[in-house]
C-alpha cells in the first residue's frame, strides 16, 4: 500500500475523532461532560427550552453521581479507557503511516465532547502549518447522532476561522472488507481462547426509532455489518442475533433491546453467550461496564451461566491496518 501526496508531507494531518469522556470519575466531571453531550441537538431532538429544563432540573442532578460510580469501576491508572485506547490507536497509526510512507504526517485525535476538543486539535494543526486535514470519525456505521455531530462541531469551529484548511471527511466504513475482516478476526481469536457459545450477539449502540424513520441509515449499516460478519464466520442464522443497547428515556428505540434479549435467552435455557459491540472502535463505559458487568448480571439472573464480552478492536494490529487504509483513502492524491 503506497501513499501518493501532491504536497510536502508536513502540510497533511490526520485527525481521529471519538465521542468523548469525563476528565475524572467524579460527579462534577461527569456532570460537565453529560451537559455538553446531552445539550447537542444531534443527540437529543427535543425543543431546546423544554429539554434544558429536563436536563438541568432532573437528569444532571440525578444521574451524574450514578454514572460517575460506573466510570470509577472501569477507570484505569492512566485515565479513562476510551482516551487511553484512542491515544494508543493514534500513536500506532502515526508510526504505521510514517514508517511505510517514509514521510512525516501529523496524526492526532480529538473528542466530540470534552477534551481534547476538535477545535483545539484543528488550531494546533494549523499552527504547525498543516492545511490539509483528513478527519476520521471512529464510527463504522453512520448516524446523525454520532458522525454528523462530529461534522457539526468541525464546521462550527471553521465558521470562525479566517483561513480555513482543506478538509476531507470520512462518513462511514461499515462496508469495507477490511473492517469486516478485522471484526471477524477478533471474534475468531477470542473463540480460539474461550471456545464457542450457543449464540453470538452483535450489540450495537441504540438510537431512537424515529431517527431511522426520518432517514438515518444507521439500522441498515448495522444490519449489513452483522450479516457480513456472521457470514464470514460461517455462522448459521440460529447462531447469532443483532440487538441494540444503551437506550435512554421512555420513547421507542431500535429493537430488539440487548438487555431484554439477554433476559429472554436466559429464561429460555441458553447458558452461554458471547457479545461483541461492532459500533465501538474502542472499549468504553458502554462495553466495559454496561455489557461486561450490568448485562452479564442480567443474563445470569435470568438463568444463564456465562456471558463473554469480546473486546472492541482497540489497538489490535488488524484494526491499525484498517485505520491505515482509511487514512490513505483520504490522503491519496491530495
Task: Give the model's pLDDT for residue 202.
Answer: 98
pLDDT higher than 90, residue 3: no
Neighbours of 268 (CB within 10 A): 10
CA 188 to CA 310: how far, in whole Å? Answer: 10
Q: Is 205 known as a binding-site position?
A: yes
Handedness of CA 152, 153, 158, 160 (dihedral sign): positive
Please report whether residue 165 resides in a domain.
no
pLDDT per residue as tens digits for the range 141-170:
999 999 999 999 999 999 999 999 999 999
Handedness of CA 189, 193, 196, 202 (dihedral sign): negative
User: DSSP string covering 62-106, please?
Assistant: HHHHHHHHHHHHH-BTTB-HHHHHHHHHHHHHHHHHHHHHSS--E
pLDDT per residue as tens digits for the range 212-252:
999 999 999 999 999 999 999 999 999 999 999 999 888 99
Neighbours of 48 (CB within 10 A): 11
pLDDT band at 5 (very low <50, low <70, confident <90, very high): confident
- Here the CATH number for the domain that contains residue 264 is 3.40.50.1400
Task: Give the model's pLDDT for residue 248.
Answer: 87
Please report whether residue 155 resides in a domain.
no
Q: What stretch of H or E contains 120?
A: helix 118-127
CA 309 to CA 89: how far, in whole Å? Answer: 21
pTM above 0.75, yes or no: yes
Q: Quick one: residue 234, left, alpha or beta (phi over 0 = left, psi -120 to 50 = alpha)?
A: left
- Please count the structural domains in the chain: 2
Mean pLDDT of 29-38: 98
Please report whether residue 9 resides in a domain.
no
Among 74, 108, 138, identify where a domain stops.
74
Mean pLDDT estimate for the chain = 96
Neighbours of 107 (CB within 10 A): 23
Please report whether residue 330 resides in a domain.
no
pLDDT higher than 90, residue 195: yes
Neighbours of 71 (CB within 10 A): 22
Instruction: Show the cell assigned to 7.
Output: 504536497
Please report whether residue 132 resides in a domain.
no
The domain in which residue 33 lies consists of 27-74
How far are the Cα atoms of 104, 185, 197, 301 from residue 230, in angstroms, in the given order?
A: 39, 11, 14, 28
pLDDT band at 1 (very low <50, low <70, confident <90, very high): low
How far are the Cα atoms of 110, 178, 182, 273, 308 from residue 228, in angstroms, in the given order?
A: 30, 12, 12, 20, 21
pLDDT per residue as tens digits for the range 83-121:
999 999 999 999 999 998 788 899 999 999 999 999 999
Please report whether residue 17 resides in a domain.
no
CA 182 to CA 44: how far, in whole Å? Answer: 32
Name the residue among 255, 202, 192, 244 with its Cα closest to residue 227.
202
Among 74, 93, 111, identify where a domain stops.
74
pLDDT band at 17 (very low <50, low <70, confident <90, very high): very high
- Cβ–Cβ under 8 Å, residues 203 and 244: yes
pLDDT per residue as tens digits for the range 51-67:
999 999 999 999 999 99
Please report whether residue 56 resides in a domain.
yes
Mean pLDDT of 288-298: 98
Using CA atoms of 202, 208, 214, 216 in order, give the dihedral in degrees to the nearest 10. Answer: -30
Alpha helix stretches (DSSP H) within 159-293? 177-194, 209-213, 218-233, 258-267, 285-288
Please report whether residue 5 resides in a domain.
no
Task: Give the model's pLDDT for residue 213.
Answer: 97
CA 134 to CA 301: how far, in whole Å? Answer: 46
Among 74, 102, 130, identify where a domain stops.
74
Reduced to 3 states, what is the DSSP secondary structure of residue 166? strand
Q: Is 290 known as a binding-site position?
A: no
Amino acid at each position: 500500500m503506497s501513499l501518493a501526496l501532491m504536497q510536502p508531507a508536513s502540510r497533511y494531518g490526520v485527525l481521529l475523532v471519538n465521542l468523548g469522556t469525563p476528565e475524572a470519575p467524579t460527579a462534577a466531571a461527569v456532570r460537565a461532560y453529560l451537559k455538553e453531550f446531552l445539550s447537542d441537538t444531534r443527540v437529543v431532538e427535543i425543543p431546546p427550552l423544554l429539554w434544558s429544563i429536563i436536563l438541568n432540573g432532573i437528569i444532571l442532578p440525578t444521574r451524574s453521581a450514578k454514572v460517575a460510580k460506573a466510570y470509577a469501576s472501569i477507570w484505569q491508572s492512566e485515565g479513562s479507557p476510551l482516551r487511553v485506547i484512542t491515544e494508543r490507536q493514534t500513536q500506532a497509526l502515526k508510526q504505521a503511516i510514517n514508517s511505510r510512507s517514509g514521510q512525516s504526517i501529523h496524526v492526532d485525535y480529538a473528542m466530540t465532547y470534552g477534551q481534547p476538543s476538535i477545535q483545539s486539535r484543528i488550531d494546533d494543526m494549523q499552527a504547525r502549518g498543516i492545511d490539509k486535514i483528513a478527519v476520521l470519525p471512529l464510527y463504522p456505521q453512520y448516524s446523525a447522532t454520532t458522525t454528523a455531530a462530529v461534522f457539526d462541531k468541525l464546521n462550527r469551529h471553521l465558521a470562525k476561522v479566517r483561513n480555513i484548511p482543506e478538509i476531507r471527511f470520512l462518513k462511514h466504513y461499515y462496508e469495507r472488507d477490511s473492517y469486516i475482516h478485522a471484526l471477524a478476526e477478533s471474534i475468531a481469536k477470542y473463540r480460539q481462547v474461550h471456545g464457542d457459545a450457543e449464540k453470538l450477539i452483535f450489540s450495537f449502540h441504540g438510537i431512537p426509532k424515529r431517527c431511522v424513520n426520518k432517514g438515518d441509515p444507521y439500522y441498515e449499516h448495522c444490519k449489513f455489518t452483522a450479516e457480513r460478519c456472521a457470514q464470514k464466520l460461517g455462522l448459521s442464522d440460529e447462531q447469532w442475533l443483532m440487538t441494540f443497547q444503551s437506550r435512554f428515556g421512555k420513547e421507542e428505540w431500535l429493537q430488539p433491546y440487548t438487555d431484554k434479549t439477554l433476559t429472554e435467552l436466559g429464561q429460555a435455557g441458553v447458558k452461554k453467550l458471547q457479545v461483541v459491540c461492532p459500533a465501538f472502535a474502542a472499549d468504553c463505559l458502554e462495553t466495559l461496564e454496561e455489557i461486561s458487568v450490568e448485562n452479564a448480571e442480567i443474563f445470569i439472573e435470568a438463568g444463564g451461566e456465562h456471558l463473554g464480552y469480546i473486546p472492541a478492536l482497540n489497538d489490535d494490529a488488524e484494526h491499525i491496518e484498517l485505520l491505515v487504509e482509511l487514512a490513505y483513502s483520504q490522503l491519496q492524491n491530495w
